[in-house]
Amino acid sequence: MITRVICVILLSFVSNGEPQYGIGSTDGVINLDQRMNASTLREALSDMDDIRGFEDAPVDHLWDSISFDLPIPNQRRLLCAGLNYHKKYPLGGEIKLPKQPVYFNKPPGSLVPHNAALLRPVASVQLDYEVELAVVIGRSGRHISEARALEYVAGYTVLNDGSVRDWQRHGVAAGKNFFRSGSCGPWIVTGEAIPDPSKLSLMTRVNGEERQNAKVSEMIFSVPELIAYMSRIMPLEPGDIIATGSPEGTGGSMEPQVWLSDGDAVEFEITDLGILSNTVEDEII
C-alpha cells in the first residue's frame, strides 16, 4: 500500500472492533494509542515530537488486518472554502473573483473514511463529487500571519466534499451536509514531506474515467491565506481541518450532467498524499 516511508504517515483505524491510531509504514501500522498518553489522534497531534520518536517501533498490525477510520474521527471542526478555483459550475458562467474566502462548515456524520460507501440520498439523485486538499492543523493559533501559517500545519489529507446539487440551491448548508455524502482519508501525510502544498496536483476518477485534474496552485486563495483567514474568525486547534475547495470537472459541470450512481467506484487522488477510494450506494429507508 505504501512503497516507502518518506515521512510520518498518521492514520486512525479500527482493529478487532476497537478504534485506534498509529503510524503507517511499508509493512503495516505502528499502534500509537498503546504508546502515548493521548486517546485519539486529534489529541496526539500537539505532541508531534513524541510521535516521531516511535517511527522505528515494530509494526503491530498488517495493512490487511485493519479497516480505515476517518483521519480525525472525533472531528471538532471542518472549515471549508467554497468557490476557491476558477470554474463555471455550480453558479453558471465564470464566477467573479471573491474578495475573501467563501466559508462554510461541515458537521460530523457527513464524511466516510477510505474504502467506505458514499450514500446517494433518498431525497435526490444529484450526488456530486469534489476532490479537495485538506489541511490538518497541528498547533493552536489565533490571528496567524500568512508568513507563518504553514508552521501550524500538522499535515495534509484528501477530502471529497460531496454535494447534493439540487439541495445546494436551498442553501450551502443543505447541499453540503447530507449524511455520508463526502469522504476523507486515507491518512495524514505530515507537513515536513509537503513543504509547498501549492505544488500538489489533485484529480478524480469515476469508474476509471478521469473527471477532475488540476493543480493546487490554481486556487484563488492559497493554503496560508486560508489558515490566516480562518484564524481571524476563531482560534484554530489541533485536529481542525480546513478544506480548500475543488476545481472544475464535477459531474454537474458536464454536458449533459452526470451524477454519481449506485455501484460507482470513485478515486480521489492528490500527488504525494495517496488515493482516497469510495463506492456509491443508494440510501435505503
Please report, for the chain, the start and end positions of each structural domain, with discontinuous segments joined by +: 9-68, 78-282
Single out the residue of 57, 62, 58, 69 nearest to residue 11, CA to CA: 69
Is CATH 3.90.850.10 the classification given to domain 78-282? yes
- Overall pTM > 0.85: yes
User: Rounded CA gap, 216 and 235, in Å?
Assistant: 25
* Residue-level pLDDT at 1: 44
Is the pLDDT reported for residue 5 higher than 50? no
Q: What angle do CA 226, 234, 167 make, to 5 degrees?
A: 70
Q: 102, exposed or middle or buried, with CB in 10 Å at 0-12, 13-18, 19+?
A: middle
For residue range 71-85, what is the model confidence (pLDDT) as tens digits?
999 889 999 999 999
For residue range 138-178, what is the model confidence (pLDDT) as tens digits?
999 999 999 999 999 999 999 999 999 999 999 999 999 99
Q: What's the one-letter identity of residue 33?
A: D
Radius of gyration over alpha carbons of the chain, in Å?
Answer: 18
Burial 22-40 (b: 16+ CB within 10 A, else e): bbbbeebbbbbbebbebeb
| Contact (Cβ atoms closer than 8 angstroms) between residue 75 and residue 217 | no
Residue 2 confidence class, pLDDT cut points 50, 70, 90 = very low
241: CB partners within 8 A, 6+ apart: 72, 75, 77, 78, 79, 134, 135, 136, 137, 157, 159, 184
What rounded mean pLDDT belongs to the chain? 94
Is the pLDDT reported for residue 285 higher than 70? yes
For residue range 44-103, what is the model confidence (pLDDT) as tens digits?
999 898 998 999 999 999 999 999 999 999 889 999 999 999 877 665 555 678 899 999
Q: What angle do CA 272, 273, 276 make, to 5 degrees?
A: 135
